[in-house]
């Protein structure tokens, strides 16, 4: 598990923070937030907040009182205790792409299949740079909509022993995720949450009923959620970074307050998905300077409220794995590290504005993660690291390739890339002239060929399979053989 020990990069002055503070207070108290689930509205009404239909007008100080009940940090339990992660503080936890309906494999762009979902779980398990198996890594369109979440959770729990994200489409899906979590952990949930589930705000200023119903199920059972405003400036928020930050605070805090009304002390993450719209085409843009600025501000804001936060990832708008995909992803991933995001979704595999889960991009992003984790290690400056003896040996005008200091440290002195090539032109040509995308394709295929499934007790696996089969029938879908893995 990665701990980012370097200082956080904070760009907001105290005056700016005070201005933002006044802004979100006006939104929640004067404009209000819509909660489309009656039960959620009732929680606020019972707590003494002003309610008009589905709109709740919130006392800012009341919000802060509720938010203060949320833990600053918490563990997210894995089936394998060695894979348990810590959310908050200086810890950064990375998870793969989430939500795309399509898959790209080389030059082929197609609908996602269950086999793709399983492959991405295996890849997430195989690379230590990723701490979580993920959630909806890709939508498997070859499985029935009502019951595909069962197959997805089963794959996350059996093909990986890392933490995972739960289904959030409905309360029923959340209950299934929780029930399968109980089975996977031997019949009862541990004290720490076993799933971390994404609850998006239907920005601007509205929480929809389906996700709220799922969130409340998770809250009641002490399972962690991420309350995330979904903000594309110019579409779901004003064309202003400060205005969007104020809206983000109002939306996130209102959702977080609800989690604490349902279950005080329930673990929750301040979520952020903040970018902008291309004002020429109307399409979402990713990896933009504005999104990077918003990310840096979000980290500072979340820390002010004493909350772990989610943001960043390898976001880009490119349709293929090209230079645009790489530089836009770095434009998001670098501020992710500078801001010290505690939970990072979309850290591997995101392509085409989140419409595509891409195998080759997955490997490119793993390389980015490896490099940035290396770059963000604190530099150790000691007398030994000054290597004065090497200078004594080589003298003026020589070279250090054969020096004793070099021979002692050459195996581990520099970062060794997974994907990048330093071959000269002749050697590169002899080896097939493969670009980074082609090399990434070879790596993900080799990784899947060498994948080893983590152990799981036969009784636990059988109980999970039985649960999936029974629930599929109860939901009215045709039986689908649950894999033996």
Terminal CA-to-CA distance of the chain, rounded, Å? 27
Compute the distance between CA of residue 86 and CA of residue 348 in angstroms, rounded to an integer.
20
DSSP state of 29: I
**Angle, CA of 112, 123 and 371, to the nearest 5°:** 120
**Sign of the torsion formed by the C-alpha atoms of 226, 232, 233 and 238:** negative
Cβ atoms of residues 269 and 343 within 8 Å: yes
| Per-residue exposure over 248-275, b if at least 16 CB sit within 10 Å of its own CB, e if not | bbbbbbbbbbbbbbbbeebbbbbbbbbb
Strands (E), 213-308: 224-233, 268-271, 273-277, 284-285
Please give the chain's pLDDT, 485 residues, in tens.
899 999 999 999 999 999 999 999 999 999 999 999 999 999 999 999 999 999 999 999 999 999 999 999 999 999 999 999 999 999 999 999 999 999 999 999 999 999 999 999 999 999 999 999 999 999 999 999 999 999 999 999 999 999 999 999 999 999 999 999 999 999 999 999 999 999 999 999 999 999 999 999 999 999 999 999 999 999 999 999 999 999 999 999 999 999 999 999 999 999 999 999 999 999 999 999 999 999 999 999 999 999 999 999 999 999 999 999 999 999 999 999 999 999 999 999 999 999 999 999 999 999 999 999 999 999 999 999 999 999 999 999 999 999 999 999 999 999 999 999 999 999 999 999 999 999 999 999 999 999 999 999 999 999 999 999 999 999 998 777 767 67
Compute the distance between CA of residue 75 and CA of residue 194 in angstroms, rounded to an integer.
9
**Angle, CA of 290, 251 and 37, to the nearest 5°:** 140
Domains of the chain: 2-9+67-375 (3.20.20.480)
């Amino acid at each position: 598990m990665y701990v980012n020990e370097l200082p956080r990069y904070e760009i907001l002055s105290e005056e700016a923070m005070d201005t933002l503070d006044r802004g979100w207070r006006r939104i929640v108290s004067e404009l209000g937030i819509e909660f489309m689930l009656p039960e959620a509205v009732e929680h606020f009404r019972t707590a003494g907040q002003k309610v008009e239909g589905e709109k709740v007008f919130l006392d800012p100080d009341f919000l802060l009182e509720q938010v203060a009940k949320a833990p600053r940090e918490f563990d997210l339990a894995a089936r394998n205790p060695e894979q348990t992660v810590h959310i908050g503080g200086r810890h950064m936890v990375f998870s793969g792409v989430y939500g795309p309906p399509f898959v790209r494999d080389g030059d082929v762009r197609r609908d996602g299949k269950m086999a793709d979902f399983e492959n991405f779980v295996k890849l997430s398990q195989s690379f230590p740079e990723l701490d979580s198996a993920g959630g909806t890594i890709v939508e498997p369109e070859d499985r029935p909509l009502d019951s595909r979440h069962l197959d997805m959770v089963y794959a996350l729990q059996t093909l990986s022993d890392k933490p995972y994200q739960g289904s959030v489409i409905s309360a029923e899906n959340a209950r299934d995720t929780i029930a399968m979590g109980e089975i996977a952990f031997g019949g009862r949930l541990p004290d720490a949450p076993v799933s971390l589930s994404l609850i998006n705000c239907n920005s601007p200023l509205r929480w929809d009923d389906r996700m709220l119903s799922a969130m409340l199920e998770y809250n009641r059972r002490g399972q962690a959620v991420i309350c995330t405003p979904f903000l594309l400036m110019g579409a779901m928020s004003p064309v202003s970074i400060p205005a969007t930050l104020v809206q983000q605070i109002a939306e996130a805090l209102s959702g977080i307050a609800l989690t604490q009304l349902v279950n005080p002390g329930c673990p929750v993450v301040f979520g952020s998905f903040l970018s902008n719209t291309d004002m020429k085409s109307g399409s979402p843009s990713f990896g933009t300077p504005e999104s990077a600025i918003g990310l840096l501000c979000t980290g500072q804001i979340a820390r002010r409220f004493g909350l772990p936060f989610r943001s960043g990832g390898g976001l880009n708008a490119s349709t293929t794995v090209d230079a645009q995909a790489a530089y836009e992803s770095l434009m998001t991933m670098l501020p992710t590290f500078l801001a010290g995001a505690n939970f990072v979704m979309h850290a591997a595999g995101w392509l085409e504005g989140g419409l595509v889960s891409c195998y080759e991009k997955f490997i490119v992003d793993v390389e980015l993660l490896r490099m940035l984790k290396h770059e963000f290690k604190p530099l150790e400056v000691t007398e030994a690291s000054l290597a004065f003896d090497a200078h004594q040996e080589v003298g003026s005008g020589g070279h250090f390739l054969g020096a004793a200091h070099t021979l002692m440290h050459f195996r581990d002195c520099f970062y060794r890339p997974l994907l990048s090539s330093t071959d000269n032109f002749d050697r590169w040509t002899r080896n097939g002239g493969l670009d980074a995308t082609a090399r990434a394709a070879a790596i993900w295929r080799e990784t899947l060929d060498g994948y080893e499934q983590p152990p799981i007790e036969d009784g636990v696996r059988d109980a999970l399979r039985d649960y999936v089969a029974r629930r599929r029938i109860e939901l009215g879908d045709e039986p689908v053989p649950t894999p033996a893995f």
